[in-house]
Amino acid sequence: MEEAGKPEEACKLFLEAWDEATNDHEKFFAAHYVARHQNNVSDRLKWLETALQFALKLDDATVKSAFPALYAKIAQCYDELNEPDKAKQHYKLAALSKDNPVDNGPFYHGTRADLRVGDLLTPGGDSNYEADLKMNHIYFTALVNGAGLAAALAKGDNRERVYIVEPTGSFENDPNVTDKKFPGNPTRSYRSLAPLKIVGEVSEWVRQTPEEIQKWRERLADLLPKKMDSYLGRFSSAAFFLTTM
């Protein structure tokens, strides 16, 4: 309903979801979406604070990644309500929660490159999907199946490889997919300006059928001519797949 341009019907469905929610996760998501459809700033603030209340109860990296945007939106509400002290407090909380994502991995990177334990994956390399494009960041994910799909879609004839990687420096939520279709970073997709160290390799993940891979290739081919470079990082970390399914 939301994507079909029917916000009132969407809000009604989200309110029903709120009423039917049976756990803190469901309450968090429902409150988040209800807040998005509130035109009155006081109502929007109430639902945002409700979403925050349930998010704080959850020890979940995917939910914690929603904190920066959630605090910032609450701060904006206080700005509109002319409560500068509370706005300042929440802007500060937004900045503090924007540090390294709280995710301990393990992390994966999918590719067709033949690499060994101890090798470094560095930013500035060629894109796996478009010739002559350099990637400013190195992308990775905590979802092994997503990394496997990224490997299947990478260019080249080598076999698909999914490496276990460790960040050697700070990293951030992939901004291409965080707080987009879903609050936070449910795909657990990240990027870094520092190298990733290969510490192992996995051979088991849920593999797509040849027909499914072809459909993804067609979607990728539709994106590339449009010069939508920001999408390429999503394919590197396989974040895009979950957010567009």
Q: What is the pLDDT of residues 84-104, one digit of tens each?
A: 999 999 999 999 887 667 788
Residues 128 and 235 sit within 8 Å (Cβ to Cβ): yes
Task: Categorize the per-residue pLDDT at 126 as very low, low, confident or very high, splitting at 50, 70 and 90.
Answer: low
41-57 helix and 24-36 helix, angle to the nearest 10 degrees: 160
Which of the listed ranges 4-13, 155-164, 214-223, 224-233 does the model predict with the highest average pLDDT? 155-164
Q: What is the pLDDT of residue 217?
A: 79
239, 151, 225: which is closest to 190 by C-alpha?
A: 239
Residue 185 has pLDDT above 90, yes or no: no
pLDDT at 14 over 60: yes
Residue 75 is which amino acid? A
Most confidently modeled of 27-31, 169-173, 196-200?
A: 196-200
What is the rounded average pLDDT for all residues in the chain? 84
Residue 187 CA to residue 202 CA, distance in Å, equals: 19
Of 162 and 184, the structure prediction assigns the larger pLDDT to 162
Report in angstroms the alpha-carbon separations of 81 from 43, 44, 67, 72, 197: 12, 11, 21, 14, 48
Spatial CA neighbour of 138 closest among 187, 220, 198, 64: 198
More confident residue, 69 or 6: 69
CB 194 within 8 A of CB 120: no
- pLDDT of 124 above 80: no
Q: pLDDT, tens digit, for every residue of 209-241?
A: 888 888 887 877 776 555 444 444 444 444 444
- Examine the pLDDT at 206 and tell me if it is beyond 50: yes
Query: In the predicted model, is pLDDT for residue 242 greater than 70?
Result: no
Q: Over range 142-167, report the average pLDDT.
A: 91
Q: Which domains does the chain have, with CATH numbers?
A: 7-96 (1.25.40.10), 107-244 (3.20.170.40)
What's the pLDDT score for residue 102?
77
pLDDT band at 161 (very low <50, low <70, confident <90, very high): very high
Residue pair 110/118 in contact by the 8 Å Cβ criterion: no
Q: Give the 3-state secondary structure of residue 124.
A: coil
pLDDT value, residue 227: 44
**pLDDT exceeding 90 applies to what percent of the chain?**
48
The residue written with tokens 């390429």 in the block is 232
Residue 53: what are its φ and ψ, rounded to 5°? -55, -45
Long-range contacts, stretch 43-51, CB < 8 angstroms, 24+ apart: 44/73, 44/77, 45/74, 45/77, 45/78, 45/81, 48/73, 48/74, 48/77, 49/74, 51/183
Length of the chain: 245
pLDDT at residue 241, as a whole number? 45
